[in-house]
Amino acid sequence: MVSRFLIRDFRCFTKFELDLHPDLTCVVGKNALGKTSLLEALAVLIRLQSPRTNSLQPVIRSGARGLVVDGIVHDCHLQCYYSASRRKLALDSVEQKDPTEYLNVGRVVFFANSDIDLIRGSSEGRRRFLDFFGNQLFRNYREILRSYEKALRSRNAYLKMVPARPKEVAAYTKPLLKFGHQLTALRAFLVERLEPYVVSAFSSISDRGEGFRINYHPGATDDFERALSESAAEERRLRATLVGPHRDDLHFFVQAQPADLFASEGQQRTMAIALKLGQARVLQTEWRQPGSMRCQSANCMKSSRTNSSADPCARLISYIISRSKFFPLKARSGALFRLEANPRVDRLRSLRSVAVLK
């Protein structure tokens, strides 16, 4: 999928260039050398957004004015320059004013050690997951999300003003409701499509027959307008919009119990991995081609061995390797040793492209 990759002024990298093998590329390095940043940069190149932050400003190297990501994806030449004051996109050396065609080139599933926070962390991370996923599945998701966020920011700004500005608040309530309804419908559909694939992946990895399900919990009732009206007094007191998609969440259950409270760490990690595998399956089904599956390190795939009579790590890694193009690992990692010794993942032994970060 990605054959060449170049970045400038991205996180810890002043400049880095890598040619990826058509089969599989492995990046090896110790901690804090930028393995995860390379994955993040690939996601930014293909999707123009980071799965780790809400904006691209934090990923610009300290002291630099802007960043560059450049690469060949599906035989298309993608180029992006981003700074606080300017963004420039090019597809096959032709500048793109609208990102639609650019974003239609490729899709990404991003694995990371921090994915466990999707199960036990704050709701913000789960909304970011839904938005990163939704932007790849629906052409209008990005526009709807931005329109909702714009209406929300403006409405909250007027709620904070003294004296009160009820007319201005009411003016932004209309677009908030309009785009809020659309965003809620899209997210509900996302979860409905996602759940069967996630449940299937969880069962395959855990191998214990544990019941697992996902619930989409909207940040407002079915009647968004009524919920907004009923919260008006509290809004005036706290000077913020209290209901809506910006309060959406995902709830996970194992054996009918809330996973964030009752699941073991191994179960939680397995759920997080299954969530990403489910995302990959939906994208693959929708676009009729394998997704670009990427993972931070072998450590991110350590589901609990005590949760299975077999080896869930080996099953999982063999599944991911068979669909991946880019596979970063920690140097001298025990997980890397186990991989090399496991006959089910011998594909790593014939690896032809290895990049070492020093």
C-alpha closest to that of 297 among 31, 94, 89: 31
Domain ranges of the chain: 1-106+291-358, 118-289
Report residue 320 as tokens.
């991911």
Measured between alpha carbons, how far is 96 from 90 in angstroms, rounded to an integer?
5
Supply the Cα-derived Rg of the chain in whole angstroms. 22
Handedness of CA 326, 329, 334, 335 (dihedral sign): negative
Q: For domain 118-289, which CATH number applies: 1.20.1050.90, 3.40.50.2300, 1.10.340.30, 1.10.3720.10? A: 1.20.1050.90
Largest CA-CA distance found in the chain, in angstroms, rounded: 71
Fold of 1-106+291-358: Rossmann fold (3.40.50)
**Percentage of the chain surpassing pLDDT 90?**
65
Is residue 347 scored above 60 in pLDDT? no
CA 38 to chain centre: 15
pLDDT digits (tens, 9 = 90+) for 7-23: 999 999 999 999 888 77
Q: Which pLDDT belongs to residue 355?
A: 64
Is residue 350 scored above 90 in pLDDT? no
* SS3 of residue 272 by DSSP: helix
CA 101 to chain centre: 20
**Percentage of the chain surpassing pLDDT 70?**
80
Stated as kind and residue range, the H or E segment containing 314 is: helix 312-321
Is residue 294 scored above 70 in pLDDT? no
Measured between alpha carbons, how far is 5 from 22 in angstroms, rounded to an integer?
13
Mean pLDDT on 308-320: 55
